[in-house]
Chain A
Amino acid sequence: MSDSVNVLPARTPHKIFSPARVAAIASNTLLELVRLKVFYFLLIFALLIIAASGFTSVFELQFQGEFQILKDMSLGAMSIFTLLLSILTTSAMLPKDIEDRTLYTILAKPVPRVEYLMGKLAGVFLLLLISVLVMSAMFVAALYAKQQWAIAATMHNGALTPEQMHYGILDIKAHTFTMSLVPCITLIYLTSALMASLTLLISTFATSSIFTIFIATTAYFIGNVESVAREYYYSQTSVSQVAKIFLTALALFFPDLQLFNLIDDIVAGNAIATTLFLKTAGLGCVYVTVYSFVAYVIFAFKEL
């Protein structure tokens, strides 16, 4: 008789919170989204950048104007695409999982609801991050190509003195890719992450995806004019009680998205101090945390 005994591996005790489980859900979510061919929009973005580069030349603008339009169109397209991605993908997540019954399969296992939500959101954040990075790479490549073209044109301009040529090239470099574009791109990502967490919050109590998309889009528009409401509240002009209550409610319940819209001014040449950028980015992170937490509060007690 053999002395060997079949030894089962020691069972690891179930953890209340497991980052590995969150990572597994996140990677699955990302994979699902990739299978939905959402990255096709990158092709449209690439075409748009190429078109923007050529389009600006048609109008015989000064090179500063051409760079300006290229940067505005590229960053504007990045904002629109990431916004659409964040709202559309997040709004479909919960309803799709309920419809496919995947949600029940996952929650029947010892996976807490908080992990499920965190994993889902992390998957969307990853998708947004990859999208922003790829779009940024395309944008920088287009900008660099245009910069080299403008420098070559300046150097071949016989009418310029060496001093004017020197300042001309410096001017071109100042109008193309500078480190100030990094906060711009970070803020685009943060805004989309904020919108994703807000959409997730809405989808936890929404009855359909369309309702979620509609409410999230409305929240985006309100968020962009919220600062006007707050300013009106603080203004010296007499404000009626009804208007005051309405404005306060707006400011309390909706995020001020204008605070994250510093791109236009940065592209125009405005430098942002590191502390100011960190404060703004920090506020974005707080929004994401609070909205995700509230989403969990609703989802934790939701009857499935």
Chain B
Amino acid sequence: MRKHHVAALLIIALFGVAKFRFEQRLTEEHRAAYFHGARFQLSMRQQIGQSEFIAALSGFRSLVADYLWIKAEIAWEHTEYGRMALLFNNVTALEPRNTMFWDMSAWHMGWNASVYAFRNPKEPREALRVKAQREYFRIAEDFLLRGIANNPDSYVLYDRLGNLYKDKFEDHLKASQAYDKAATFPNSPSYEKRFAAYHLSYCEGHEREAYDRLVKLYKMGDNERLPTLLTRLNFLQEKLNIPADQRVYHPPEK
């Protein structure tokens, strides 16, 4: 080895020493800004195949995630919901910052897979069909909760969690809490606040709080005085026996 080769090696090594800690710090800063959240595990290598795993490691993980997503869509066409769940797990592990993947995975599990499980013609026992259906609800909830853990700065998954609790679990309190959380984000749609109040109005023991929130929305103006709000407000006025002179809303006489 000649002198200039040694000099070159020395320069690279010195630069390496200088960059070592800086790169580690920069990685930490990236992580704090929610970058590089993908987790590569050996189980994933077995599930997605060697070439896809290498491609994902080589900086093309979004392409691999898209490819797996399309595979999941094909599995959907063949009603292979178990396989879909497995593929969704890999897609979301590769792209944890993509709320669309978490959202759609939960939707497929909570709405499509659960309905299929409930109507499964191969299972004559209703109890088992209901059990399978509830399991898919839980998988959908799990996708959304993991999605929220990876994307705490987005309202979207809180909104979808609210929808899941409302439509599938029929748990109005949890739905209201999820919509409430979504409403705290500055870029969230205005209906999140409304939805939170509507669903709270169905909860036993929370009538007063719900009433106060509905009144507050009602006083915000005509834009908020939508049919559901008026119906729920009237319902609570009756239920809480609000005196006529204190009622803000007087439904038209039939």
Q: Indicate which residue in B23, B34, B73, B98 contacts A68 across the interface (CB closer than 8 Å).
A: B98
Proximity string of chain A (59-78) to chain B, C-beta cutoff 8 Å, 1 when within and 0 when not: 11110110011001101100
Are B4 and A64 in contact, with the CB atoms below 8 A? no
> With A and B bound together, what is the CA distance between A286 and B61 in angstroms?
26
Say what secondary structure dominates the interface of chain A. Answer: helix
Q: Sort chain B's interface into a size bin.
A: 35 or more
Q: Indicate which residue in B23, B61, B62, B73 contacts A230 across the interface (CB closer than 8 Å).
A: B23
Closest residue of B by beta carbon distance from A280: B26
Closest residue of B by beta carbon distance from A72: B62
> With A and B bound together, what is the CA distance between A283 and B254 in angstroms?
73
Proximity string of chain A (229-241) to chain B, C-beta cutoff 8 Å, 1 when within and 0 when not: 0110010000000
Q: Sort chain A's interface into a size bin.
A: 35 or more
CB distance from A190 to the nearest CB of B (A): 13
The answer to whether A118 has its CB under 8 Å from any CB of chain B is no
CB distance from A168 to the nearest CB of B (A): 10
Are A261 and B4 in contact, with the CB atoms below 8 A? no
The answer to whether B58 has its CB under 8 Å from any CB of chain A is yes
The answer to whether B16 has its CB under 8 Å from any CB of chain A is yes
CB distance from A227 to the nearest CB of B (A): 6
Closest residue of A by beta carbon distance from B190: A163
Q: Indicate which residue in B2, B33, B190 contacts A272 across the interface (CB closer than 8 Å).
A: B33
Are A65 and B99 in contact, with the CB atoms below 8 A? no
Closest residue of B by beta carbon distance from A257: B59
The answer to whether A259 has its CB under 8 Å from any CB of chain B is yes
Given A79-B59, A224-B59, A268-B95; A205-B30 close (CB under 8 Å): no
**Which residues of A are found within 8 Å of B239, using beta-carbon distances?**
none
**Which residues of B are found within 8 Å of A98, using beta-carbon distances?**
none
Are A59 and B62 in contact, with the CB atoms below 8 A? no
Closest residue of A by beta carbon distance from B27: A227
Given A62-B104, A76-B60, A272-B33; A283-B23 close (CB under 8 Å): yes
**Which residues of A are found within 8 Å of B29, using beta-carbon distances?**
276, 279
> With A and B bound together, what is the CA distance between A227 and B59 in angstroms?
12
**Which residues of A are found within 8 Å of B40, using beta-carbon distances?**
228
Question: Which stretch, A28-36, A147-155, A294-302, touches the partner chain B?
Answer: A294-302
Question: Which stretch, A89-97, A100-108, A122-130, A248-256, touches the partner chain B?
Answer: A248-256
> Could you jot down 14 A-B contacts, CB within 8 Å?
A62-B100, A69-B66, A73-B66, A79-B59, A205-B8, A221-B57, A227-B23, A227-B36, A264-B95, A267-B98, A269-B99, A270-B33, A279-B26, A294-B12
Query: Which B residues are closer than 8 A to A by beta carbons?
Result: 2-5, 7-8, 11-13, 15-17, 19-20, 22-24, 26-27, 29-30, 33-38, 40, 57-63, 65-66, 69-70, 73, 95, 97-100, 104, 154, 189-191
Query: Which A residues are closer than 8 A to B by beta carbons?
Result: 59-62, 64-65, 68-69, 72-73, 75-76, 79-80, 163, 167, 201, 205, 220-221, 224-225, 227-228, 230-231, 234, 251-253, 256-259, 261-265, 267-270, 272-273, 276, 279-280, 283, 286, 290, 293-294, 297-298, 300-302
